[in-house]
Amino acid sequence: QKEVEQNSGPLSVPEGAIASLNCTYSDRGSQSFFWYRQYSGKSPELIMSIYSNGDKEDGRFTAQLNKASQYVSLLIRDSQPSDSATYLCAVVPASGGSYIPTFGRGTSLIVHP
Amino acid sequence: DTGVSQDPRHKITKRGQNVTFRCDPISEHNRLYWYRQTLGQGPEFLTYFQNEAQLEKSRLLSDRFSAERPKGSFSTLEIQRTEQGDSAMYLCATPIGDGMFFGSGTQLSVL
């Protein structure tokens, strides 16, 4: 079982809709969770971090964390065609003592006009 | 204006050749990471440095791979006797807060 699981998609939503991206992780002791956006041919860029259970909002983005269920999600409100990209979930496992973010395979999001 | 410069951006080589990539963080960071990403997958951890010390290596990093960070600033990643399976994007990253800032990467194609 991979440490960080994401549905590869693609997830297709119309412009203006809410896009919901999900991620599950296996290390129950994980404390740090991140969402990255990656445009085709580009490197990943950090868009959100979350550490505590609940919601964290930043503009049109909301990250949600549920440690008991071991999932983290990203909501994108008022989706725009420019949001079309692959969204990567990253988790820092608690085991080992080293700070090494582990990434999921990413979910491809397509926002169509 | 990225905080991490990687060189070259693209590298095409023949199987069996050696290649070396360079990563230059613009500002000083104690930690520096190397990841590899293949099409349709997320970045996979290869190794990381705390200053000059290479603290951890993934089992993905076979003995054909070696990384250095001689003065705690720039880093190099060398692949000896390249194989077609080494074709990937090689990403260098430094911390920003608790997250990571990635360089533009080096796209390696092994023919």
pLDDT (tens digit per residue) in A11-67 = 999 999 999 999 999 999 898 999 999 999 999 999 999 999 999 999 999 999 999
Q: What is the pLDDT of residue B1?
A: 44
Residue type, A96: G
- Judged by CB atoms within 8 Å, which residues 35-64 of A form the interface with B? 36, 42-46, 49, 51
Handedness of CA B27, B2, B8, B53 (dihedral sign): positive
DSSP state of B84: G
Please report which confidence band the pLDDT of residue B71 belongs to, taking 50, 70 and 90 as the band edges: confident
Q: Does A99 touch chain B (CB under 8 A)?
A: yes
pLDDT digits (tens, 9 = 90+) for B16-35: 999 999 999 987 788 999 99
Cα gap A15→A17, rounded to integer Å: 6
Provide, as residue numbers in chain B, all residues whose Cβ is less than 8 Å from the Cβ of A43.
89, 91, 102-105
Q: Does A88 touch chain B (CB under 8 A)?
A: yes
State the best of B38, B54, B98 to mutate against chain A, taking most chain A CBs within 10 Å. B98
CB atoms A34 and B99 under 8 Å: yes
Q: What is the pLDDT of residue B29?
A: 80
Residue B25 is encoded by which pair of tokens?
A: 């963080």
pLDDT digits (tens, 9 = 90+) for B49-68: 999 999 999 988 889 999 99
How many A×B Cβ pairs under 8 Å? 57
pLDDT(A72) > 90: yes
Taking the CA of residue B92 and the nearest CA in chain A, the distance in Å comes to 10
Contact B96, A46 (CB under 8 A): yes
Cα gap A39→B32, rounded to integer Å: 23
Q: Which residue has the tokens 């080589």?
A: B13
CB atoms A34 and B105 under 8 Å: no
Q: Give the range among B7-11, B34-38, B69-73, B104-108 with minimum mean pLDDT.
A: B69-73
Angle at B104 between CA B73 and CA B8, to 5 degrees: 75
Q: Which residue has the tokens 């080992």?
A: A96
* Among candidate residues A48, A46, A52, the one with its CA nearest the CA of residue A60: A48
CB atoms A105 and B45 under 8 Å: no
Strand partners, B88: B108
